[in-house]
Amino acid sequence: MTGAASWSFSESDFKQIQGHLQAFLRDSNARCALLVDRTGQLVATVGDPPQFDPTAFASLTAADFSANDQLAKMIGEPEFASLVHQGERESMYLADIAKRVILVVLFDQRATLGLVKLKARAVVENLNKVFEEMFNRVGTGPAQQKGLLEGAEDEIDKLFG
């Protein structure tokens, strides 16, 4: 492998993901769900729009999850598949999806951690399937459109003058 593999997802993947997450938010009473890939890029947001910078949030989430992954290994666990950060009013629940993506659930006092955990189990399973299918498809998807980025160099020149 020369570098990390790229992946892409289509509009129908996105709709499926949204569907699963919306059902989960309804069942768990959580406010918002974000999907972040392990390199720190925001993949999707469903529910109440976040009141913070989602890009920065995504990069910190990935760092948080990766650091905890290493901590798990140090104490002899293969991984921490989920993490909880509990605050006085706002809390977060994070769970691994297909080893490549992190589900972040934001919830307040209207939801309980127990319910979020319980309902998350099903949505994680569903999303695992969606993402695994997506990753297996890499190389045949629309990302292979030839010349997608033709002209990109001019755009870079323009930005940096």
What does the binding site for other proteins look like in residue numbers (CB under 8 A)? 1-11, 13-14, 37-41, 43-44, 53, 55-56, 59-60, 63, 66-67, 70, 142-143, 147-153, 155-160
The residues pairing with 36 across neighbouring beta strands, listed in sequence order, are 42, 102
**Amino acid type, 110:** R
We find the least distance from the C-beta atom of residue 121 to other proteins, in angstroms, to be: 26
Q: Which is nearer to other proteins, 29 or 68 (CB)?
A: 68
We find the least distance from the C-beta atom of residue 109 to other proteins, in angstroms, to be: 28
Q: Which is nearer to other proteins, 74 or 114 (CB)?
A: 74
Q: Which is nearer to other proteins, 63 or 113 (CB)?
A: 63
Q: Which is nearer to other proteins, 60 or 118 (CB)?
A: 60
Q: Tell me how far CA of residue 39 lies from CA of 46, 99, 159, in angstroms.
A: 20, 11, 25
We find the least distance from the C-beta atom of residue 118 to other proteins, in angstroms, to be: 29
Task: Find all residues with CB under 8 Å of 77, minimum gap 6, and list them.
Answer: none
Question: What is the b/e burial string over 117-136, where b = at least 16 CB atoms within 10 angstroms of the residue's CB?
Answer: eebbeebbebbbebbeebee
